[in-house]
């Protein structure tokens, strides 16, 4: 085995940091706007209700362009596409801060979205191709932490910036981070490309239409007055997915080859990600909502209550490798999903007279186990992919995660609205939240059975060398 050169050693040290930077910017920008919309609306002389377009435009752009990330990286090289995506994202952020009206802001968010749709999947692809399977778990474990802390810190950071600076700073904060990413990327990002690439334009358009329709339906679910059009859009999204399946079956070079799903660990990872995130993704939305609506506390207070989740996620990353090495992926994921579901159910225990501090230890423990869950699910999904499958498989995992987060948020809101309109809550809004936590918690526990499809030996090739 050849000795690693100093340059290769430096790349392996810095590459996880570069990816972490990209993930942090993307995750922060997906959530930071939530607490800032009223302030931006006032400054741009818009109704706060119309400002939702600024969030939706970003999410939809991610959904449309993510499927193309693998092809673009193979065709033009991971380095060029990654640097290009960071430049686009940083420029989009600057344009957002300079926006004079809602139209300017929406166009700027689309530019940001194109950058965001490429930088995380391409950065992750470079990581997968740089590290051996036995080293990948440790590298991915470090890079994935921002995905856990971004959604938690986003509303809190956004709230403080709006209160003490101005809303422009929630976008300007990306520019120095983006600049750092560009400098590090120019020096340390490896340039992988493939000579054998054909772009499946028809497949891309079909899959992009499916992602777009599903994302639109998920955004509409949260704000629905009439469910019929939402369901029509949702069903149309699934029909386009079926159309893509028929297209991919014909052979050629589909953007997402169906042979990916013949890899059992990939199949379980994709389905498990979708199923378990129904509960996990709804908590950072539902708990702050409950604290503000039922407990009548401020947005900043609700942000601080949920903040321990980010801190313990960082501690979780130091334990996950030892846990996976000792118990394996199957046992870890089944038990860990059960623990997460139980903790979500426990959020339903306090009544309206219980101190808010009761939630802090639950949220803190939840952050720790979320960290284990995300690292385990992400690494088992790519454990058995062959080299020629990594680009398309990695892109599909990124699209799946984006949709899974949307499904989780929409699902939590739908369950909450159903309980709000039922007789069970006896006029107490707080009870609607409690029943919602119980429902999503039980469903999270049940989703753990997906991981029974794993074999005890699955993921052995991902084991750390330095056991």
Helices and strands: H and E segment counts in the chain: 19, 0
Q: Report the alpha-carbon distance of residue 141 to residue 137 in Å, rounded.
A: 6
What 3-state DSSP class applies to 385?
A: coil
* pLDDT for 148: 67
User: What tokens appear for 420 in the block?
Assistant: 């709000």
Burial of 338 (0-12, 13-18, 19+ CB in 10 A): middle
Report CA 22 to chain centroid distance, whole Å. 12
* pLDDT for 345: 93
Q: Please report the domains of the chain, with CATH numbers, ordered by start residue.
A: 1-199 (1.20.1250.20), 202-254 (no CATH), 256-467 (1.20.1250.20)
* pLDDT for 314: 76
* pLDDT for 338: 95
Q: Report the alpha-carbon distance of residue 90 to residue 226 in Å, rounded.
A: 38
Q: Report the alpha-carbon distance of residue 188 to residue 74 in Å, rounded.
A: 18
Q: Give yes or no for a contact between 244 and 392, defined as CB atoms under 8 angstroms apart.
A: no
Q: Give yes or no for a contact between 137 and 321, defined as CB atoms under 8 angstroms apart.
A: yes
Q: What is the pTM of this model?
A: 0.80
Q: For the chain, which residues score pLDDT lower than 50?
A: 1-2, 465-467
Q: DSSP class of residue 36? A: T
Each residue of 178-223: pLDDT tens digit? 888 888 888 888 888 877 667 778 888 888 888 888 877 876 765 5
Determine how many CB atoms are found less than 10 A away from the CB of residue 350: 18
* pLDDT for 465: 47
């Amino acid at each position: 085995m050849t000795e690693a050169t100093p340059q290769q050693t430096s790349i392996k040290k810095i590459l996880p940091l570069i990816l972490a930077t990209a993930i942090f910017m993307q995750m922060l920008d997906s959530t930071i706007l939530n607490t800032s919309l009223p302030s931006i609306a006032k400054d741009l002389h818009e109704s706060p209700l119309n400002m939702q377009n600024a969030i939706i435009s970003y999410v939809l752009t991610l959904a449309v362009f993510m499927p193309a990330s693998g092809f673009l990286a193979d065709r033009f090289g991971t380095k060029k596409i990654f640097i290009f995506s960071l430049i686009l994202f940083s420029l989009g952020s600057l344009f957002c801060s300079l926006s004079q009206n809602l139209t300017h802001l929406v166009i700027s968010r689309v530019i940001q979205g194109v950058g965001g749709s490429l930088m995380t999947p391409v950065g992750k692809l470079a990581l997968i191709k740089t590290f051996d399977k036995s080293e990948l778990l440790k590298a991915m474990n470090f890079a994935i932490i921002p995905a856990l802390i971004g959604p938690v810190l986003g509303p809190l950071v956004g709230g403080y910036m709006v209160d003490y600076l101005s809303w422009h700073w929630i976008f300007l904060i990306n520019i120095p981070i983006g600049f750092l990413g560009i400098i590090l990327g120019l020096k340390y990002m490896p340039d992988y490309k493939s000579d054998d690439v054909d772009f499946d334009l028809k497949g891309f358009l079909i899959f992009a239409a499916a992602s777009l329709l599903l994302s639109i339906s998920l955004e509409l679910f949260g704000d629905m007055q009439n469910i019929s059009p939402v369901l029509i859009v949702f069903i149309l999204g699934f029909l386009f997915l079926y159309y893509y399946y028929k297209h991919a079956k014909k052979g050629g070079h589909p953007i997402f080859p169906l042979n990916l799903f013949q890899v059992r660990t990939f199949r379980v990872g994709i389905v498990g990600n979708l199923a378990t995130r129904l509960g996990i993704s709804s908590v950072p939305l539902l708990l702050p909502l409950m604290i503000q609506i039922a407990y009548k506390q401020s947005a900043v207070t609700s942000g601080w209550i949920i903040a321990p989740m980010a801190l313990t996620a960082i501690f979780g990353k130091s334990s996950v490798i030892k846990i996976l090495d000792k118990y394996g992926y199957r046992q870890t994921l089944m038990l860990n999903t059960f623990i997460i579901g139980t903790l979500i159910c426990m959020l339903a225990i306090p009544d309206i007279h219980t101190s808010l501090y009761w939630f802090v230890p639950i949220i803190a423990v939840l952050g720790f186990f979320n960290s284990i869950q995300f690292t385990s699910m992400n690494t088992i999904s790519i454990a058995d992919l062959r080299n020629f499958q990594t680009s398309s498989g990695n892109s599909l995992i990124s699209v799946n995660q984006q949709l899974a987060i949307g499904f989780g948020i929409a699902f939590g809101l739908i369950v909450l609205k159903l309980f709000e309109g039922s007789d069970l809550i006896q006029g107490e809004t707080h009870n609607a939240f409690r029943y919602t936590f119980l429902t999503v918690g039980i469903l999270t526990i049940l989703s753990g059975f997906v991981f029974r499809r794993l074999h005890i030996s699955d993921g052995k090739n991902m084991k750390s060398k330095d056991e």
